[in-house]
Amino acid sequence: MIESVSRRAFSSSSGTYNVRASELARERKLNIFNVTVQFLDDTQQSFQIEKKAKGSVLLEQVYQHLELVEKDYFGLQFTENGSPPNATNSEITRWLDSTKSVKKQVGANAQFWLAVRFYPPEPSRLAEEYTRYLLCLQLRKLLLDGRMNAPKNTALLLASFTVQAELGDYNVSEHPPNYLSELCLLPKQNAEDERRIRELHKLHKGQSPADAEANFLEHAKRLDCYGVESHPAKDYNGKDIFIGVTSIGIVVFQNNIRVNTFSWSKIVKISFKKKQFFIQLKREPSESYDTVLGFNMRSSRAAKALWRCSVERHGFFRLRAPRRRALLAALGALAGLAAPTVPRTETMALEDARRSRSTNRSFVRRSSSRPRDRSVGMSPASGMRGSRVTAHCEPAPRPAWGDLDRPSSDIIEGDFLERVLRIPLSYVDESESGSEGAESAECGGVKIRLEAGSDGLFGFNVRGGGAAPVLVSRVASRTRLQLQEGDQVISINGTDVDELTHEQVVQLIRNTRGVLTLVVKPNAVYAPEDPGAEEPEACFVPLFSEGDSRPEGDALEQSILLLGDGLASGNALKQYETLLRRLPDEPTNISKLPCNLNKNRYRDIAPYDSTRVILKNGPTGDYINASYINMEIPNSDTVLTYIATQGPLSTTVGDFWQMVWESESSLIVMLTVLTERGRAKCHQYWPKVGTTPLKATNDLTIFTNSEQNHGHYIRREMTIKESGGGSRSVCQLQYTAWPDHGVPDDAAAFISFTQLCSQLRNRRPMIPTVVEPEEGEEERELDPPMVVHCSAGVGRTGALVLCEVALALAARGQPLYPLDLVRAMRAQRPMCIQNASQYKFVCESIQTAYTQGLTKASSENGSN
């Protein structure tokens, strides 16, 4: 009865209350952890995660918010004090660990910054345009806050690409003279910088934002500090250095100059103990011991951070799949500190991109270098993440500069180079093209059909040929749906390309009318240890034949412009690397005779038999490790003559002075110190001032009359006396500002030193040279040679020869092509200019001399 009344009483108004559900909701609310993430375009977004959530949860939320596909290259940074990451607080900046609790890592400072963690060695391999855009934003921030250094010319060029991407084509009516003053493009930006950026901006006409960003990345990736996470340290001498970790290995910087590189393939083990970081190198076949290099870090925490960074980058860039953690790693001290692992590798990321063949989605670009409310040419909705602009139909990437006199629609890639500078191009011109779908082909390849565009071009470049595989090197935007950088071309229109040279491959493509049929083998994995023999995109040394005319206009200025563009793009150094270090058909048999082997300081550096210096009265025979180098200046009677030789050994001092006497030289240029890093580079072949004269041979005695230290060089005046009564004054200039590794810091000082050498070489010797011409031969008397040596007689020696010849050409208004000069030098002595850093330094010195008007001073003081 009571039950029925109860039901009737409450039937009209009833309710329930879930106590447990409310308690759970309260608990969840209490466990929520709010974090803020600042993105690369300076916008911010708040995220909510559970307090016990791991870093992977937050990372996934961020990636989903950005709709970021190629997320493996990115990460979240935080600092111990909550301040933004910059150049001054790198020691307290950390990466969010995806395997650990977010709350435990950051504490109360729940502020994160999205950043690029792993820099792709080849940005063009990124499948998404949006990923490349974020990479550009990151690099611009690094350049602005000083965490990444670039030469001034390169920095200006990068800034001009930024302007093109954000403002579009230069327009006189839209862009007043001071339109760059509101933009923050360079640290310590001034009016002269803005003027030069404006001139470069004018040259980028026709480049879409995607094109400008692609060119930005092509230049930025060649910087020594690209993708380097630097850690301050000290070497064994206590000098301040920076140890950087990159995709290729571990690099060492001193005074912002890369002084050493240890590639992953040469490293056996990396470890740390307390404040020291160690690198164990692979033992060479000729060595009986392991080489272990140690570096002193600022603290044990800094050593561990460098070790961890090295392990992660090696795992990401070098492994095909993440390394599995050892089972004993959990035992801690018994198993040692467990090495960190990466969840995915670059190989996996690239293979995913290859399989997806994703198209470029639409998005809006947002300026990171100026106030957003003053952005020019951007829609009001540009601040919204969801408001995007598609960029599918942009033209192919354009060169950094071109012929402005012609309409942009009439200019194609490389046309300016080929028409004005008469440079034969060794690549397929780029353009947009229509295409049909790709279908499966035999031999594991993919068959692709491309239709020519309106200009008859197919929209991709190739490199290789001959002994090297034919690879796709660059691809226009629309063609990326079918082709990607790194694809190997198996056949063209049914013709196998295995036995074809690069020129034949290019010609086969150019001769195709209508549809081009390719069979390609996808090859998404970037292998830096085996890049292949890459053909240069444009030959920066004109291949003139007899009777050809030089380029019209100011040939010298055009050659300097061409050189500057080659240095900025990296093509100049690429082409340098393709030069033969020695001529295969020039024997060096005399240097290998048993009686001459001990006269060589280095076993792999020897003179050609055809150009070696032959001693007439050598104390130990007619051989010395020295070569004649004659460099003719076109359109003049001048021939700059040199003897390039190694630094004398203690057993070859007599041979050296006999060579100086017989060659009648009055100038010796020394480009090394006696000892570097505890290793002898040259024996002291002269006596000190006021000491006993040096008895070099039975007939020659050497006196040092004076010695003056001029800072970056030392000048010594000497006298050679012969037992027969003859004597000669000799000047020795010793350049001391070239560091043990790397190149000099002051290009202007090296230029002035080279000009001093040019002035002193013109002095005539006391004993004239009389050469009887053969019958029918025009009489010609060459000046006595300048004797130049460093340690091996090829690297720094070649740098000085190249610099003097280039200055002589510029002083006479002749175009100069350094690559051509190096080729001429190596035809007379192998391996002249040993590495790319020396070549780059000389080229930049030449640019400096030309822009500062130093070549005119050289003409007034030293030309004859």
Q: Which residue has the higher pLDDT, 125 or 236?
A: 125
734-783 pLDDT per residue, tens: 998 887 667 888 888 899 999 999 999 854 443 333 334 445 444 446 78
Q: For all residues of the chain together, what is the average pLDDT?
A: 77
Lowest mean per-residue pLDDT among 306-310, 562-566, 723-727: 562-566
Q: How confident is the model at residue 375 (pLDDT cuts 50, 70, 90)?
A: very low
More confident site: 240 or 283: 240
Higher pLDDT, 436 or 323: 323
Task: State mean pLDDT over 340-367.
Answer: 72
Token couple for 789: 């040596």
333 pLDDT band, cuts 50/70/90, is very low
Look-up of token digits 């010797």:
765
Between CA 143 and CA 157 the distance in angstroms is 13
Using alpha carbons, list the distances in angstroms from residue 508 to 268, 436, 503, 604.
45, 20, 9, 41
Could you tell me which residue, 716 or 274, shows the higher pLDDT?
716
According to DSSP, residue 125 is labeled G
- The domain covering 592-767+781-862 belongs, at the CATH homologous superfamily level, to Protein tyrosine phosphatase superfamily (3.90.190.10)
Per-residue pLDDT for 558 more than 90?
A: no
Q: How confident is the model at residue 107 (pLDDT cuts 50, 70, 90)?
A: confident
Catalytic sites, residue numbers: 790
pLDDT category at 62 given cuts 50, 70, 90 is very high
pLDDT of 24 reads: 63
Which range among 222-231, 295-304, 440-449, 691-700 shows the weakest confidence by mean pLDDT? Answer: 440-449
Least confident of 126-130, 226-230, 402-406: 402-406
Query: What is the per-residue pLDDT for 764?
Result: 46
Three-state SS annotation for 58-76? HHHHHHHHHCCCCHHHEEE
* Cα three-residue angle 744-748-749, rounded to 5 degrees: 65
CATH code, residues 30-116: 3.10.20.90
Q: 9: buried, middle or exposed (CB in 10 Å: 19+, 13-18, 0-12)? A: exposed
The residues with which 502 forms a beta bridge, in sequence order, are none
pLDDT for residue 596: 92
- Greater confidence, 240 or 625? 625
Share of the chain above pLDDT 90, in %: 24
- Kindly state the percentage of the chain with pLDDT values over 70: 75
Q: Which of 55-59, 369-373, 484-488, 583-587 has the highest mean pLDDT?
A: 55-59
- The CATH number of 229-326+335-344, from 1.10.730.10, 2.30.29.30, 3.30.1150.10, 1.10.10.10, is 2.30.29.30
Are 162 and 185 contacting, i.e. CB atoms less than 8 angstroms apart?
yes
pLDDT at 445: 67
Q: Which CATH class is domain 408-557?
A: mainly beta
Most confident of 351-360, 418-427, 677-686: 677-686
Give dist(CA 320, CA 672) in Å, integer. Answer: 45
- Domain segments of the chain: what residues? 30-116, 229-326+335-344, 408-557, 592-767+781-862
Residue 569's pLDDT is 74
Averaged pLDDT for residues 124-135? 88
Q: Which long-range contacts (CB under 8 A, 24 or more apart) does 491-494 make?
A: 491/518, 491/519, 492/516, 492/517, 492/518, 493/517
**What are the tens digits of pLDDT across the range 694-715?**
999 999 999 999 999 988 899 9
Beta-bridge partners for 704: 718
Instruction: Quick: pLDDT tens for 147-192.
Output: 888 888 888 999 999 999 988 898 888 888 888 888 888 988 888 8
Of the segments 28-37, 294-303, 361-370, 820-829, which one has the largest average pLDDT value? 820-829
In the predicted model, what is the mean pLDDT of residues 253-260? 82
d(CA 752, CA 172): 41
Q: What is the pLDDT of residue 591?
A: 92
Q: Which is more confidently placed, 543 or 722?
A: 722
pLDDT of residue 767: 37
Regarding predicted confidence, which is higher, 408 or 474?
A: 474
**Pick from 87-91, 271-275, 504-508, 520-524: least confident:** 520-524
The edge-to-edge listing of strands for the beta sheet with 291-297 is 257-263, 249-254, 240-245, 229-234, 291-297, 276-281, 267-273
Among residues 503, 416, 425, the alpha carbon closest in space to that of 466 is found at 503
Report residue 172: phi and psi, to 5°.
-60, -40
* Residue 847 pLDDT level (bands cut at 50, 70, 90): confident
What is the residue-wise DSSP string for 602-670? STT----TTTEEE-SS-BTBSEEEEEEEEEE-TTSS-EEEEEEEPPPPTTSHHHHHHHHHHHT--EEEE
Q: How does residue 366 score in pLDDT terms, banded at 50, 70 and 90?
A: low
Measuring CA to CA, how many Å separate 861 from each of 757, 810, 852, 856?
11, 13, 16, 9
Please determine, for residue 374, whether its predicted confidence score (pLDDT) is greater than 90.
no
Per the CB < 8 A criterion, the answer to whether 600 and 588 are in contact is no
pLDDT confidence bin for 793, thresholds 50/70/90: very high
